[in-house]
Structure 1
Amino acid sequence: MGQFINLTIGNETTRAWLSLPSRPNGRGIVLGMSVWGQNADLCSWADFMADLGYAVIAPNLFWRNAPDHAVDYDFSRLEDVGAIMNQQNDEQGVEDLACAAAALKDLAGCDRLGLAGWCYGGRIACLSALNDLFCAVVAFYPTILETRLDIVDHLKAPLSIHLPEIERFATRDDAIERIVAAFADRADVETFVYEGATHGFGFSPPHPNHHPAAARLSNTRAALFFDRHLNGGRR
Structure 2
Amino acid sequence: MGRWVAMSEGGGSDFSGYLCVPPSGRGPGLLLIQEIWGVNAHIRAMADAYAAEGFVVLAPDVFWRQQARIDLTYDDAGIELAYKHYNALDMYQACDDLGRAVEYLKGCEFVEGRLGVLGYCLGGTLAYSLAANEHLSAGVSYYGSGIGGMLNKTPRMAFPFLFHFAGDDHLIAMEEVTRLKPLLSATGDATFRIYEGQRHGFNCVERNSYSMKAALLAKADTLRFLAQHLVR
In the superposition, the TM-score normalised over structure 2's length comes to 0.90
Deviation of the 1:222 alpha carbon: 0.9
Q: Which residue of 2 aligns with 1:100?
A: 101
Check the 8 A contact 2:171/2:200 in 1, yes or no.
Answer: yes
Matches for 1:110-121 after TM superposition, within 5 Å: 110-121=112-123
Provide the alpha-carbon RMSD of the alignment.
Answer: 2.1
The answer as to 2:82 corresponding to 1:85 is no
For the residues of structure 1 that align with 2:56 and 2:45, how far apart are their CA atoms? 13
Contact in 1 for aligned 2:35/2:122 (Cα 8 Å): yes
8 Å CA contact 1:9–1:99 kept in 2: the answer is no
Moved more, 150-159 or 214-223: 150-159
Per the alignment, in what secondary structure is the counterpart of residue 42 of structure 1? helix
Of 22-31 and 38-47, the range deviating more from structure 2: 22-31
The aligned amino acid for 2:128 is: C
1:42-86 Cα deviation digits (max 9, x unpaired): 111111111121111101100000212111212333232112112
Aligned CA distance change for structure 1 residues 103 and 187 (closer, same or farther; 3 Å): closer
Structure 2 residue runs of 5 or longer lacking an equivalent are none
Deviation of 1:221 (Å): 0.9
Q: Among the aligned pairs, what percent are the same residue?
A: 27
**What is the letter of the counterpart of residue 111 of structure 1?**
G
Task: Give the equivalent residue in structure 1 for 2:144.
Answer: 142
Gaps of 5+ in 1: none
CA shift, 1:203, in A, is 0.8
Look up the match of 1:200. Answer: 201
Q: Which of residues 128, 133, 136 is equivalent to 2:135?
A: 133
Q: What's the CA shift string for 1:198-227, capped at 9, x where partnerless? A: 11111112x111111111111111111111
Going from structure 1 to structure 2, the CA distance change for 1:186 and 1:98 (only over 3 Å counts) comes to closer
CA distance in 1, matches of 2:51, 2:64: 24
- State the Cα distance separating 1:187 from its structure 2 match: 6.1
1:130-183, Cα deviation, whole Å (9 max, x unpaired) = 22121001000102223333356411121111001112124x772122122323
Partner of 1:30: 31
Give the Cα–Cα distance (whole angstroms) in 1 for the partners of residues 226 and 9 of structure 2. Answer: 26
Match of 1:168 in 2: 170
Distance 1:25 1:220, change over 3 A: farther
Q: Secondary structure at the match of 2:196?
A: strand
Report how many aligned residue pairs link the two structures: 230
